[in-house]
Amino acid sequence: MSAKKPSRHEITVIPGDGIGPEVMNAVRSVLQAAEVAIDWDEQLAGAEVFKKGVGSGVLPETIASIRRTKCALKGPLETPVGFGEKSANVTLRKFFETYGNIRPVRELPGIRTPYSGRGIDFIVVRENVEDLYAGIEYLQTPGVAQALKLVTRKGSEKICRLAFEIARAEGRKKVTCATKANILKFTEGLFKRVFEEVSKDYPEIVAEHQIVDNCAHQMVMRPEQFDVLVMTNMNGDILSDLASALIGGLGFAPSANLGDGASIFEAVHGSAPQIAGKDMANPTALLHSSVLMLRHLGEMKAADSVENALLVTLEEGKILTPDMAGGGREPSGTKAFAKEVIKNLGSAPKAYPKREYKKVIMPKVSHDAVMVVAKETRPMGVDIFVATAIDPAVLGPSVEQMIADLPVRLTQISNRGAKVYPNDLGVEADPVDCARLRFKVAHHGDTLSDKDIAQILLRVGAQAPWVHVEKLYKYDGVAGFTKDQGED
């Protein structure tokens, strides 16, 4: 009987810009020495592609390759500074809906930080496609900018389930959800509610919530309390960078961008153009990212072997790149560091707690567009944002007169979220040239028709140009909009 041929993995490799090719070569040499069966499909993205005039920074061939291999190891990509050009990284993330950004934060042997010895070992799981980073922004007037914070039931469920699945795969005991649900009741509030709901399916794991600003404080004061953290996109972006500083900085931070279709593994750092081509770059973060990739592929033994060799190299500290050397130690180059890691394949660190890893099971969340259905959906008002600097004490009565024959009433005018008409509370606002006019049906329980909204727009628009319209809905009798400061 012939022996079963070991399965090979085809992986898209994007060397990237600046130090990218150097750290990628180092990583590929280690994986080759570790005898991981990989066929690399090398593809382009980043600066060179922008120079070819491709605005997304990613070639169609690169997209096609990732679609086929479902897995990419990527070097840093330069984002051109200027108007209109997109980040190639964001293009890739959005293209493959890699919704889960995973950033392990674990103290490294031999890397001295103010936190050394405290046993920091947690994972930040960040939602990667929604929130303010959906990139939906408008100038309401030349001086008033607005961004839409988009949080969905589907996106929240996917990332919260992924956080618990990662906790399960790594035998971790606790998942902390950090939100700003106390202020952003609909967006961050939805995320928190979904987290609480999902947590019931993982009874063996403790689920806790922290307000995100307190979480930032806790991360600096007592980071060892965390096990797995899950957050919306922007909170996760900021706190995961803070977290990497605790273990030595961005140069040591690996990351995975996981999706249902494809996953992309990369170091957190950028292309470091100042040291590019000088054999000075530290390949630790990309090598660690490749370890995450191996575990994702189910290559648990190879992942442990490469990780151990890296940890031994750092622990011994004989061959270190310039950013790690110091304290009288002679710095070595990227190539020498990779050679040392290869030499250490088969060894294990002396004093480093071992963790048993299982392959993460990617959660199955419905792909239906409609995730939540209301029995009754009733439009009962409309918010009309107008570009105007007219005093609300003048604008209010004038608008009331304009709509006197329509089945609506102007309930208030607000400016920067504070109610300024009627100003019964005496709010001392510092107004800007964009105001929100809130109209509600005149009789409780009535429905506001599109025809009436069109009438309001025409009439109000004659006095002050409207820039944004938002319908006010009640879903099963519950308001789908927030109140302003000072609104009853």
CB 284 within 8 A of CB 243: no
Closest CB 94 distance from ligand NAD, rounded Å: 14
Q: Provide the minimum distance between the beta carbon of 167 and ligand NAD in the complex, in angstroms, as a whole number.
A: 26
Four-residue CA torsion sign, 138, 212, 367, 482: negative
351: Cβ–Cβ under 8 A, 6 or more apart, which residues? Answer: 109, 315
Of 121 and 237, which has the nearer Cβ to ligand NAD?
237
Give the binding site for ligand NAD (CB under 6 A): 19, 23, 76-79, 89, 250-251, 266, 269-272, 274-275, 281-282, 285, 323
Tokens of 136: 């939906």
Shorter beta-carbon distance to ligand NAD: residue 275 or 342:
275
- State the minimum distance, in angstroms, from the CB of residue 475 to ligand NAD: 39
Query: How many angstroms separate the CA atoms of 113 and 118, rounded?
Result: 10
CA distance 212 to 239: 9
Say whether 421 is catalytic: no
Nearer CB in complex with ligand NAD: 266/484: 266
Q: Which amino acid is at 26?
A: A
Residue of minimal Cβ distance to ligand NAD:
270
| Residue 294 beta carbon to ligand NAD: minimum distance, rounded to whole angstroms | 20
Q: Which of 17, 121, 131, 237 is catalytic?
A: 237
213 catalytic? Reply is yes
What is the closest distance, in whole angstroms, from the C-beta atom of residue 19 to ligand NAD in the complex? 6
Q: Which of 213, 391, 424, 476 is catalytic?
A: 213
DSSP string, 51-115: HTT-TTSB-HHHHHHHHHHSEEEE---PPPPSSSPPPHHHHHHHHTT--EEEEEEE--TT---TT
Which tokens go with 316? 């011994």
Q: Pick between residue 155 and residue 251 the one whose CB is nearest to ligand NAD.
A: 251
- For ligand NAD, the closer of residues 19 and 102 by Cβ is 19
Contact 205, 172 (CB under 8 A): yes
Residue 382: how many CB atoms within 10 A of its CB?
21
Of 180, 339, 419, 440, the active-site residue reads 180
Residues with active-site annotation: 133, 180, 213, 237
